[in-house]
A = this chain, B = another copy of it.
Amino acid sequence: MRTIDWIDGAVELVDQTVLPDELVLLRIGTVDGLVDAVRRLAVRGAPALGVAGALGTALAVRDEPDPLAAAARLRAARPTAVNLARGVDEALACLDGGFEAVLGRALRIRDDDIAACLAMGRRGADLVRELTGRDRPRVMTVCNTGGLAAVEYGTALGVVRTLHERGQLARALALETRPLLQGTRLTAWELERMGAPYRLVADSAGPFLLARGHADAVLIGADRIAADGDTANKIGSYALALGARRAGVPFVVVAPESTVDPATPTGAAIEIEERCGEEVLGVRGVRLAPEGARALNPAFDVTPHDLITAIVTERRVIRPERGERP
Chain B binder among A3-11, A61-69, A249-257, A297-305? A297-305
* B298 lies within 8 A of A208 (CB): yes
CB distance from A243 to the nearest CB of B (A): 6
* A209 lies within 8 A of B293 (CB): no
A200 within 8 A of B: yes
The interface residues of chain A, by DSSP majority, are classed as: mixed
> Which of A205, A246, A280: most chain B CB closer than 10 A?
A205
A120 within 8 A of B: no
* B209 lies within 8 A of A298 (CB): yes
* B206 lies within 8 A of A293 (CB): no
A199 surroundings in chain B (CB, below 8 A)? 277, 294-296
Nearest B residue to A21, CB-CB = B290
Nearest B residue to A186, CB-CB = B290
Task: Provide the bound-state CA to CA distance between A278 and B203, in Å.
Answer: 15
A147 within 8 A of B: no
Task: Provide the bound-state CA to CA distance between A178 and B242, in Å.
Answer: 20
A13 within 8 A of B: no
A239 within 8 A of B: yes
1/0 per residue A177-198: CB within 8 Å of B? 1110100110011001000000
A277 surroundings in chain B (CB, below 8 A)? 199-200
A207 within 8 A of B: yes
A235 surroundings in chain B (CB, below 8 A)? 202, 204-205, 208
A114 within 8 A of B: no
* A192 lies within 8 A of B283 (CB): no
A207 surroundings in chain B (CB, below 8 A)? 238-239, 242, 301
A173 within 8 A of B: yes
* B204 lies within 8 A of A236 (CB): yes
10 pairs of residues in contact across A and B, judged by CB atoms under 8 Å: A177-B204, A179-B202, A184-B293, A192-B290, A203-B204, A204-B204, A205-B235, A208-B298, A238-B243, A239-B243
Q: Which size class do A's interface residues fall under?
A: 35 or more
A296 surroundings in chain B (CB, below 8 A)? 173, 199-201, 205, 209, 214
A297 surroundings in chain B (CB, below 8 A)? 201-202, 205
> Which of A178, A189, A290, A301: most chain B CB closer than 10 A?
A290
Given A178-B176, A181-B288, A286-B283, does the pair A200, B294 have CB atoms closer than 8 Å?
yes
A283 surroundings in chain B (CB, below 8 A)? 283-284, 286, 288
* B208 lies within 8 A of A288 (CB): no
* A184 lies within 8 A of B289 (CB): yes
A265 within 8 A of B: no
* B192 lies within 8 A of A178 (CB): no
Nearest B residue to A173, CB-CB = B296
A211 within 8 A of B: yes
Task: Provide the bound-state CA to CA distance between A206 and B242, in Å.
Answer: 12
Given A200-B293, A283-B283, A296-B199, does the pair A246, B242 have CB atoms closer than 8 Å?
yes
